[in-house]
Each structure stands twice: as C-alpha cells, then as structure tokens.
Amino acid sequence: MVRFAHHSKHLRMARSLSNPSPTTIGYFMTQVKSGDTVRIHYTGTLTDGSTFDSSAGRDPLEFAVGSGQIIPGLDAAMPGMTVGDKKTVEVPADQAYGHPDPNAQQAVPRAEIPADIPLEVGTQLQVQTPQGQVMPVTVVEVTEEQVVLDANHPLAGKDLTFAIELVEIA
C-alpha cells in the first residue's frame, strides 16, 4: 500500500493510493509536543472552588511548552493535546508554586515604612531588594513596632485546579 500525506499547519491527511476512496482518507490532528508555542484559555480554581485567575475576557495565555514559563504541573499537561481539546488538570502545590518558605518572611521596623502606605494584613506591596530587584510581598502581621512581610507566592502551599482549552499551536 502506497500512501501520500498532505500537511497543513495542524492537520495531516493521508490517503491510500491503492484504494483512494473517501473512506480511506484519515485526518490526524497535530499534537502538542515540548518546544511548541501554544495559546490556551484557562480558569484556575482553589480546592474550595473559588477562582484565583482566568483568561476569560482576555487574550489566551501564550507560552512555549517545556520551557519553564509556567508552573510545572500545568506545563506537563500540554503534550498530546490537540487544538480544541479541553481538560481539567489537578496540580498539587509542589508542582505549582511550591510550599511556603518560613525564611521568606521578614520583620521590618514600622518606622522604615512610609506613613502613606496602608499597613493592613493582606495588603500587597512591592519592595526593592538591596540588589535592586522589585519583589511582591504581602503584609501578614502589623504591630506598633514592626510589620511582617511575606515574600512567598500567594498560592504557595495550595493545590490548584485548571480548566484549560488549547486554542492554538503556533
């Protein structure tokens, strides 16, 4: 049996030359592999069902599979998907943002923080490290003398669920 194949960007058609009837034509969708640039729509939820992020109403998220641009558990779910596929992915904390590091909390004298900055538990701030890098932190404790700032990712220690749809393989 002799075959020929026609390749488009995401669709491959194969036809048997010994029997070229329409019933012998097969279509194979291109599957995502490591190194592919993909675009996905997603909704991320916590174990209580609350949504922490979503691409709804925005452009799809674009990234290169296997490049470390997104959390490992979501990245690992991509190979084998085809355009239009939808799936739900459970991502444990160690494959998401890791576990909280107790050393990522630091007490800062309250006098070192400008008076116009709100100091309530849960407030997100941006601080500059001695090396000049800007780092997001969360206020986790406020006393008269000090403010405790936490540099852990807000989702550290949390298991996540993503509902994803593959929109494009670029």
Q: Which fold has domain 37-98+156-169?
A: Chitinase A; domain 3 (3.10.50)
82-119 pLDDT per residue, tens: 999 999 999 999 999 999 999 999 999 999 988 888 88
Q: Which CATH architecture has domain 102-150?
A: Beta Barrel (2.40)
Going from the C-alpha of 122 to that of each of 137, 139, 170, the distances in angstroms are 10, 5, 39
Going from the C-alpha of 75 to that of each of 37, 47, 72, 89, 158, the distances in angstroms are 11, 20, 5, 10, 17
Extract the tokens encoding 116.
């116009």
Contact 10, 28 (CB under 8 A): no
Q: Residue 126 pLDDT > 80, yes or no?
A: yes
* Annotated domain spans of the chain: 1-30, 37-98+156-169, 102-150
Residue with tokens 């669920």: 161
30-58 pLDDT per residue, tens: 999 999 999 999 999 999 999 999 999 99
Q: Is the pTM of this model over 0.95?
A: no
pLDDT for the residue 28:
65
